[in-house]
Structure 1
Amino acid sequence: MKIKFNLKYLFLTILLFLTEVLIATVLKDIFFIRAYLGDVIVVILLYTFIKTFTIIDDQKLIVGIFIFSCVIELAQYFNIAEKIGFRKGSLMYIVIGNSFSWIDIACYAVGCLILYIIVKHKNYKRLLTTQG
């Protein structure tokens, strides 16, 4: 892993973050979007955030993000936000979350699968242009 700033990924990170804020605030009453799409997007947001500052193997990063997401979800099962002392409704309480769900893990997996497909497609196109 190398440290290197990438403006393209910064813009993507900001766009995805604003999308997550929009989902959490404006679109919160649309169940499918709030319950599922937000969890799919959050792993993509983590990916773009890390890629903003580093050069790292894409596949390892995607696997790492999935594991990290599952660990956070497992922490929700044990109500870690309350045990750490975050008040209900506080920003960190909301970020960590407060309810475990297997469906959330499935959404994280879908988000990581989308990332994997995008990365493979991007690498395949790069391979074709260098060989052609």
Structure 2
Amino acid sequence: MSRRLVYFSLSLMCIIFCILIVLLFSEMPFIRGLVGDVIIVVFIYYFIMTLKDFNSIYVVIFTLVLAFITEVLQYFHFASILGLQHNKIAQLIIGSIFDPMDMIAYTIGGIVAFIIDTKIIKKPKNTHIRTY
């Protein structure tokens, strides 16, 4: 299976999990907040990797910077500034409540995505043959 297909499959699974979290666990802040934020960062990472075989470290840094900027924009009530405070889709994408714990969740998601990518998906092939 091609690596991009693996990335696409993982990103699709992540978005399905995110939708299920929103639909089934909206009243459970730990799952909706922490687990959802971890998974969304993993989704963004793998979605980017479906486009091209980018350097993993650059993608994880880009993904985390994007997530952190989004969180900072929540601090400044960016959705309200844009007049989107009542738009459910905008609320879901941009968010509405600043929480510094989200940055920890984003970091965990970035680490998880990076480790899975570099240790499992891009696992270096054993180039030498052992003979006994």
Shorter-chain TM-score: what band? 0.7 to 0.9
Partner Cα distance (2:92, 2:122) in 1: 38
Partner Cα distance (1:125, 1:62) in 2: 17
Amino acid at match of 2:61: V
SS in 1 for 2:84: coil
The aligned counterpart of 1:16 is 14
| Length-normalised TM-score, structure 2 | 0.86
The aligned counterpart of 1:105 is 103
The aligned counterpart of 1:114 is 112
Give 1:18 shift. Answer: 0.8
Paired residue total = 127
Consecutive unaligned residues of structure 1, counting only runs of 5 or more, are none
User: Which structure's CA Rg is the greater one?
Assistant: 2
Percent of aligned pairs sharing the same letter: 26
Query: Relative to structure 1, is the Cα distance of residues 124 and 97 closer, same or farther in structure 2, using a 3 angstrom cutoff?
Result: closer
Amino acid at match of 2:88: S
Partner Cα distance (1:16, 1:86) in 2: 26
Consecutive unaligned residues of structure 2, counting only runs of 5 or more, are none
Cα deviations across residues 62-110 of structure 1 (Å, max 9, x unaligned)? Answer: 0111111000000000111111121424212221001111100000011
Query: Relative to structure 1, is the Cα distance of residues 42 and 123 closer, same or farther in structure 2, using a 3 angstrom cutoff?
Result: closer
Cα deviations across residues 30-72 of structure 1 (Å, max 9, x unaligned)? Answer: 3321121001111100011111111200011001111110000
User: Is the 1:82–1:93 contact (alpha carbons within 8 Å) kept by the matching residues of 2?
Assistant: no
